[in-house]
Amino acid sequence: MACLEEPTLVLNRSWVAVSTTTVREAVSMIYRGAARAIQPETWQAHNFDSWAELALVEGQPALHTVRLAMRVPEVILLTRHTRMPPRQVPFSRRNLYRRDGYRCQYCGHQQLTQELSIDHVVPRSHGGGTSWENCVLACLACNVCKANRTPAQARMTLLRTPTRPPWSPCLMVQMGRRRASWEKFVSDQYWNAALEEG
């Protein structure tokens, strides 16, 4: 049952997306009453019994047990928790690659991970720090060309000014594993930012 490890979007009691979890954990939470399954097409919240009674949808994954077959919950609503999402994306190599879309921020070419390096816009030797606002991805050729200079000194232009990306519950989920049904529950700003970073 490979679908048990697929992601499920988690909403707090205010219907704000706060994280993702596995289908396995989502089903457990629904069964315990800690969450309700959301039917994306109707926005209806279901407890375990009413969710298990829903008809399966042709072409959609389903969970099968000895006694029943039921839909895979793609979105769940917490029944007891109202925490708000974190406000900042942690700075990390992985998140930097996602923010810049595996694309050199000087020439614009998309590259494999091993063909990209992290460039300090203002070099560390000139007082530049390691932060969202001073680090970008650069292909090896552009990084060599820029060397230990600022973009202005090297006569190179950044595709966009580096900034901290907006937080999104989808950020840590690979693009191919994000579900279309999540679009209804994640604001356009978060959704579009997450797609750019995949």
pLDDT in tens, 112-164: 889 999 999 999 999 999 999 999 999 999 999 999 999 999 999 999 999 99
CA distance 48 to 88: 34
What percent of the chain is helix, strand and coil (3-state, nearest 5)?
Answer: 30, 20, 50
Tell me what pLDDT residue 134 has.
Answer: 97
Is residue 58 predicted with pLDDT exceeding 60?
Answer: yes
More confident residue, 27 or 57: 27
CATH code 1.10.30.50 region(s) in the chain:
93-154
User: Which residue in the block uniquely carries the two structure tokens 């042709």?
Assistant: 58
Average pLDDT over residues 159-179: 69
More confident residue, 90 or 179: 90
Tokens of 110: 């998309």
Q: Domain 93-154: which CATH class? A: mainly alpha
Average pLDDT over residues 49-56: 90
CA distance 75 to 182: 7
